[in-house]
Amino acid sequence: MQAQAATHSECIGQFEPTVLVHGGAGDIADSGIPLKKLGVKRAARRGYEALIKSGSVLDAVEGAVNSLEEDVNFNAGNGSVLTWDGDVEMDASIMNGATLEAGCVSLARDIINPISLARRIMETTRHRYIAGEGAMNIAMESENFKILQKGALVTEAAQKSLENYKASLNRTRSKRESQIYGSPGTVGAVAIDACGNVAAATSTGGITGKLSGRIGDSPILGGGTYADNETAAVSATGHGETIMRYNVVSRMLALVQHANHTAQEAAERVLNEMTQRFDETAGIIAIDHRGRLGIHFTSKRMSWAYQRGEELHFGVDAGEDQLEIVGEPRVPPL
């Protein structure tokens, strides 16, 4: 039987509460950097505020990912890329590291926040993964989800990206070129509270030009997402087919659990090995069971940010770590 997890307020001082987010790994253009940075900073702050106010790492990762899903500059929710047929089909998953409870959804349509649907699946059904019509029925039965008109999530930018992708395939079958236009930009968040409870969440529109019904790594536990208080919370981004074939997140967790790696060491080792073996790139954010952060990508860039206390760190390029001092949200009285 699992022990009842201690609450955030009972553990003040044991771990430093932190919310770390990513806005996707890939070829981010120079012109896109300011909005990516703004978006990940905003998401980290929203997640951190939720963590401090409610003490819940699930609220933290859901809030952070909601912020990125609502922002058209990221490939999730409002900014989702399109299938070959020009539709939006989204995947998401959320996991609680204290209980190993999880909720996963695929082929979600016409809602802005698939991560909240994944959480609803976790909290209100006896299943852990529901796709397509069944998942949308759960959204429709809940007053928490606004069901948009068909096509409302299709943006001009995503249409242009699909056109460019199709044109690139006509010109060449080069894998590298198709990656540029099909560039993934999944979003994710990991969080730790003062007791060492962790959670992870990942949400995505997938990859541009994917076949209808294609599911990527993001909703696959151990593929693109996982959280376990005894090892780490992890969210991956990049080429989903490769990430799931290499079982990226499971490999990382095994290194933390059995080889005493830090989150950073494990992220670097697994992603570098994956990229060497498959010639494909990806990114990872992680917080391990000792509260240590891992941020690594083998793509050209990955937008990320984290808030810990008054410090808001963020970056896009390899080795970049900018710091802003922000106000810490007020802790409500006990």
Annotated binding site for substrate: 214-217, 237-240
Cα 233 to chain centroid distance, Å, stands at 11
Report in angstroms how near the CB of residue 186 gets to ligand GLY at its nearest. Answer: 4
Check binding of 238 to ligand GLY (CB under 6 A): yes
* Residue closest to 20 by CA, chosen among 296, 205, 332: 296
Per rule CB under 6 A, count of chain residues that contact ligand GLY: 13
Q: Which is nearer to ligand GLY, 138 or 244 (CB)?
A: 244
Q: How far apart are CA 119 and CA 108, in angstroms?
A: 13
Applying CB under 6 A, among 96, 116, 183, 186 the residue interacting with ligand GLY is 186
Contacting range for ligand GLY; rule: CB under 6 A; set: 80-88, 114-122, 191-199, 211-219: 211-219
The residue from 18, 83, 186, 225 that is catalytic is 186
**Owner of token pair 């899903």:** 69
Check binding of 217 to ligand GLY (CB under 6 A): yes
Check binding of 204 to ligand GLY (CB under 6 A): yes
* Residue closest to 226 by CA, chosen among 195, 251, 250: 250
Q: How far apart are CA 96 and CA 81, in angstroms?
A: 28
Any catalytic annotation for residue 125? no
Contact code string over 63-102 relative to ligand GLY, x by CB under 6 A: ----------------------------------------
* DSSP track, 180-246: HHT----EEEEEE-TT--EEEEEEE---TTBPTT---STTSBTTTEEE-TTSEEEEEEE-HHHHHHH
Contacting range for ligand GLY; rule: CB under 6 A; set: 29-37, 115-123, 143-151, 213-221: 213-221
For the annotated binding site, the residues are 214-217, 237-240
Report in angstroms how near the CB of residue 135 gets to ligand GLY at its nearest. Answer: 16
How far is residue 210 from each of residues 5, 74, 81, 214, 298, measured CA to CA in Å? 41, 17, 9, 6, 22
Question: What is the phi/psi pair of residue 135, to 5°?
Answer: -70, -40
Q: Which is nearer to ligand GLY, 73 or 186 (CB)?
A: 186
Contacting range for ligand GLY; rule: CB under 6 A; set: 4-12, 216-224, 227-235, 299-307: 216-224
Cα 87 to chain centroid distance, Å, stands at 21
* Residue closest to 328 by CA, chosen among 17, 14, 6, 9: 17
Q: Which is nearer to ligand GLY, 108 or 192 (CB)?
A: 108
Q: How far apart are CA 6 and CA 23, in angstroms?
A: 31
Binding site for ligand GLY (CB under 6 A): 184, 186, 204, 206-207, 216-218, 224, 237-240
Residues identified as active-site? 186
